[in-house]
Structure 1
Amino acid sequence: MTTTTTPATATTPATPEVPTDLYVRVQHFYAHQMQHLDHGRFEEYAATFTEDGEFQHSPGVEPARTRPGIVRELVEFHKRFDGDPVRRRHWFDHIALERQEDGSVRSTVYALVVTVRPGGRPEIAPSCVVHDVLVDGPDGIRLKSRRITHDQHF
């Protein structure tokens, strides 16, 4: 007598897909947004948020609110690099998008920050997860909120 077994099936429901064009537009949005940040163009970075957007880049830090508040927070944070010839690059990957009932899009992204100094080797730190809420309006994609968690804080 021959016995056959069937492979186990997944018990978690599949995540509903988002349209390919939206996924590509989000990738494009992130690419330009991170280049603004990495080049110190904080006003342009803040303009990628809604007027009332929230941005929390580090655990334990109160979120910056509104575009001017985001610019202030970034200027203050980057003072730590004054006099330090450092180049930082933010790498976003594994973008997972989920449509929300209110029409917004929840985005979860793995991120690495690469830091390089002249003549030095690239340092990768921190490793993060970026939790975004995106809205798609007449001016294109904008961030309603961003909360970043750091992997070393578990």
Structure 2
Amino acid sequence: MTTETDTRAGTHLYALVQHFYARQMQALDEGRFEEYAATFTEDGTFQHTPGTEPARTRAGIVAELHAFHERFRDDPVQRRHYFNQIVLDPQDDGSYRSTVYALIVRIRQGERPEIWPSCVVHDVLVVDGDEVLMRSRTVSYDQLPAQ
């Protein structure tokens, strides 16, 4: 049975995680890759491209993001990441498994925005008081076959 205290703690955690994701995604969308990487634990992993090895450590995540975005150097595209339907499941080690639906909107000046891609984001979050850090992130794309 859920007590009132459990509900308040759950609500606080949910709001804390939403705020964490909002700041994290705005850093990514604005190209502040060091700030984005700082939301991971020192030994964090990040896999956003299926079939590739995940980037490891904050420095590795920054390098991966710079390399990825270099491909778009001559393409004036803006991306906005929208996270919704957050489900938080406690793990035995005290971390939380977070499963999130994500839509990425691509915008080019003078064109209509397009949603591409639609994803499911699988994170492991470490919460210490009001601090949230990400231990790992794996992104799966709805348009690709399940891996």
Same fold (TM over 0.5): yes
1:82 equivalenced with 2:66 (yes/no): no
Count of aligned residue pairs for this structure pair = 139
Distance 2:34 2:138 in 1: 19
Q: How does 1:94-109 map to 2 (within 5 A)?
A: 94-109=85-100
Q: Which residue of 2 aligns with 1:146?
A: 137
- TM-score, normalization: structure 1? 0.87
User: Following TM superposition, by how much is the alpha carbon of 1:65 offset from its aligned partner in structure 2, in angstroms?
Assistant: 0.2
User: Following TM superposition, by how much is the alpha carbon of 1:80 offset from its aligned partner in structure 2, in angstroms?
Assistant: 1.3
CA RMSD of superposed structures (Å): 1.5
1:126 equivalenced with 2:121 (yes/no): no
AA matched with 1:131: H
Q: Could you list the runs of 5+ residues in structure 2 that have no partner in the other structure?
A: 1-5
| Structure with higher helix content | 2
AA matched with 1:37: L
SS of alignment partner, residue 81 of structure 1? coil
Distance 2:129 2:89 in 1: 20
Q: How does 1:47-62 map to 2 (within 5 A)?
A: 47-62=38-53
SS of alignment partner, residue 19 of structure 1? helix
AA matched with 1:124: I
% identity of equivalent residues? 65
- Counterpart contact for 2:44–2:136, Cα < 8 Å: yes
User: Following TM superposition, by how much is the alpha carbon of 1:138 offset from its aligned partner in structure 2, in angstroms?
Assistant: 6.0
Q: Could you list the runs of 5+ residues in structure 1 that have no partner in the other structure?
A: 1-15
User: Following TM superposition, by how much is the alpha carbon of 1:139 offset from its aligned partner in structure 2, in angstroms?
Assistant: 7.4
Q: Which residue of 2 aligns with 1:111?
A: 102
AA matched with 1:69: G
Q: Which residue of 1 aligns with 2:54?
A: 63
Choose 1 or 2 for highest CA Rg.
1
- Counterpart contact for 2:16–2:130, Cα < 8 Å: no
Misfit runs of 4+, over 4 Å: none
- Counterpart contact for 2:46–2:138, Cα < 8 Å: yes
Give the one of 59, 70, 92 matched to 2:83: 92
User: Following TM superposition, by how much is the alpha carbon of 1:137 offset from its aligned partner in structure 2, in angstroms?
Assistant: 2.3
